[in-house]
Structure 1
Amino acid sequence: MDFGLTEEQKMIVETTRTFVENELYPHEAEVERSGHLRMDLIKELQAKAIKAGLYAANMPEEVGGAGLDTQTWLLYEKELGKANYALHWTCVARPSNILLAGTDEQKERYLYPCIRGEKWGCLAMTEPGAGSDLRGMKASARADGDDFVLKGTKHFISHADIADFAIVFMATGEEDTPRGPKKLITAFFVDKGTPGFTVRQGYRNVSHRGYTNAVLEFDDCRIPKSQILGELHKGFEVANAWLGATRLQVAATCLGRAERALGHALTYAAEREQFGQKIGKYQGISFKLADMAMELKAAELLTREAAWKFDQGTVTEADMSMAKLKATEVLAFIADEAIQIHGGMGLMDDLPLERIWRDARVERIWEGTSEIQRHIISRELLRPLGA
């Protein structure tokens, strides 16, 4: 594995970093204090991101994306991750690659408009009673002639308020397994405005202000069979085939914020004076900085190794879980220590540290909790031993 960056990777990192600092940072205070991302601002920044070649850069070249390999994509994600989440995720959108699993007709209707910045989509899996245990979902879809009728509720659905459609996972049957009956899951495209499909305001939360969540309600919502994404009863296969790298995406954006927080801590420690000397001279501060830098490097190495193995076709579930687990926990550690180094000023919204600290909390929950990641890692360690 080569740890050096190619000239192309350096250019992508520099282009993304410049865009984040010049176009996104200036709007952070407004979004953080209002909790709202204006649509006119979204459109303005979206146009700039498209012009800069940064929009939908995660997608393959053949569908209009940048065709980045996993290593380069995560370097790009790391730079974007330094900014307010709503700003970088909405205005520099990276459509879910699950859209690539669609038919040619579905790609024309959903994928290409997302890549061109004409539409947004959202993924709907989680329910009030089914988070990590997706097989426990109660929302269902029953066949009725050439249609399916959807019924149930999804919640914690990110940016569903602005999405033009949802990819919804529904229970469509049951199968017998050695551990008892398990639900069969199918993924469906559901357009906003379809009768029986309602999007309701979600919950206010401490992390990622301006990046909304919603409650989706399906009350005898009828859609044609042509709206199935993938195959009937194969929703898990579609998700596993196309969503695996999202854990690495979370890891990369966390690395970006951790690096930004460490940068602020280093600058402050080098400039702030107490008792006649720079506070960075005191071991109580200097050792914190050393530990922060070491943990950040460890998290980055785990993430880059997983990305390299992803491109080699050798990545395991444990590799991606380790990267996600380490990066999210390191972000929480570095954000907390950076605030401690700044003292009271660290908690003021003049600096991005209190925002990074708040935002860090959700990262250990979504895309699989830390406990789920540890379960995946330990299961992979024990399986060869028959345990």
Structure 2
Amino acid sequence: MAFDFSQTDEQRMLVETVRQFIEKEIFPYEREVDRAGEMPMDLAKQIKSRAKEVGLYAANMPEEVGGGGLDVMSQMLMERELGKCNWALQKFVGRPSAILMACRDEQIEKYLLPTVRGEKMEVFALTEPGAGSDAMSISTRAEADGDDYVLNGGKHFISGIGLPDFAIVFTVTGVDETKRGPRKRVTAFLVDRDTPGFSIRRGPRCVSYRAYDNYELFFDNVRLNKRQILGEEGKGFVLANQWLTGGRVMVAANCCGKAERAMELATDWAATRKQFGQTIGKFQGTSFKLADMATELRAADALVAYTCWKLEQGTMTDADAAMAKLFASEMLGRVTDQAIQIFGGMGLMDELPLEMMWRDARIERIWEGTSEIQRHIISRDMLRAKEQ
């Protein structure tokens, strides 16, 4: 089977548009925002407005709901370029959670369309203090009470910037008996920020993406109508898995963009920095690092492109997505670390963006599923194939 991942004219134009956008609208502010550890809302509004002007906002969403209607490969190319800049700023280019396409009836006008237009912001609330990588261990519960549900529990490590307008909250609404024993029935709800009993606060600051907040959410007898169920009752984890699996591929694309930026910085430094009468790039200790960085990046790009192709064909498996996320995120860690080594002490100085990129790279092996979880998904798929 032959694969052709060459870019179309439209895709090349998209890449150039995103590249120019981040150079003009994001790069000039990212160090200031990182140092402050907070995203100024006037800057956020400016980025969002400019993104809308050039047609980048909500480009991942279908045209029929007002989005840009990008295909999977084009989304990947866009994410790769956006990956070169800090998440706290690129967030406002706007890629709403595709899970919102499960909205129906009045949910479409209340949640989906305003989010696509940039009038509302959502957060994806799955992770809990006692259920990190083991998502099926969530304990937040929504007990049925007539046509309503009463929600109690809490979430943490919920990413976002500025208080969200609503949360997509995953809860336990019952237990089903399966061949493998009892299994929690997980349901997703759309919960407005101003709902009585729902409170939100900023969680601990993270060393990666300092200005990209993480929140703690608390639910104390929050009353929700069944009309606020996203999708079907008991099908929340199916929705979550669809979003997480596709999202992992885009995280991998993001990592490739970050690695390319770090490699370019290191290459420029190696070509100009002189020691012992010659540029340091002429020493094998440096040049071999660059060669390894370029090779690993090329391999990650190829894997991500192949995985996106499978996603577009409808044949991508959980293991495919896990491989892309695992390899690209760990590749990024090695590339940024080697880039620091090539720069030496200067690489760790605040004047350069590299120390920020090095810190930011660390979280990529944790969020959207840790490297260990990705390896579990991959090996489980391999072993199940032998059991059949």
TM-score normalised by length of structure 2:
0.98
Question: C-alpha distance in 2, partners of 1:131/1:281?
Answer: 46
Distance 1:112 1:67 in 2: 14
Correspondence for 2:99: 98
Distance 1:299 1:160 in 2: 29
Quote how far apart the aligned CAs of 1:318 are: 1.3
How far the C-alpha of 1:161 sits from its partner, in A, is 4.3
Matches within 5 A, 1:1-387: 1-89=3-91, 91-159=92-160, 161-386=162-387
Letter in 2 for 1:86: A
State the Cα deviation string for residues 239-265 of structure 1 (Å, max 9, x = none): 233442100111011111100000000
Moved more, 171-180 or 92-101: 171-180
What does the per-residue CA deviation read over 1:21-66, in whole Å, with 9 as the maximum and x for residues that have no partner?
A: 1110001111111001011111111100100101011111111111
State the Cα distance separating 1:160 from its structure 2 match. Answer: 6.5
Counterpart of 2:231, as a letter, is G
RMSD after superposition:
1.1
Give 1:108 shift.
1.1
Alpha-carbon shift at residue 180 of structure 1 (Å)? 2.8
SS at match of 1:324: helix
The size of the alignment, in residue pairs, is: 386
CA distance in 1: counterparts of 2:90 and 2:161, whole angstroms: 16
> Partners in 2 of 1:283 and 1:241 — Cα distance?
45
Deviations 1:113-135 (A, max 9, x none): 11111110001001000011122
State whether residues 333 and 362 of structure 2, in contact with CA within 8 Å, keep that contact through their aligned partners in structure 1: yes
How many percent of aligned residue pairs carry the same amino acid?
A: 59
User: How far off its partner does 1:178 sit?
Assistant: 3.5
C-alpha distance in 2 between matches for 1:110 and 1:80: 25
Q: Distance in 2 between matches of 1:250 and 1:122?
A: 17
Shift of 1:153: 0.7
**Residues 272 and 279, structure 2, Cα contact 8 Å, conserved in 1:** yes
Alpha-carbon displacement from aligned partner over 1:93-146 (angstroms, at most 9, x marks no partner)? 100000001103212111111111111000100100001112211110001111
Paired with 2:216 and 2:369, the residues of 1 have a C-alpha distance of 19
Structure 1: which amino acid aligns with 2:189?
Answer: F
SS in 2 for 1:56: coil
Is the 1:161–1:213 Cα contact (8 Å) retained in structure 2? no
Helix, strand or coil: the match of 1:158? Answer: strand
Paired with 1:8 and 1:378, the residues of 2 have a C-alpha distance of 38
Which structure 1 residue ranges, 5 or more long, are not aligned? none
1:279 and 1:285 in contact (8 A); partners too? yes
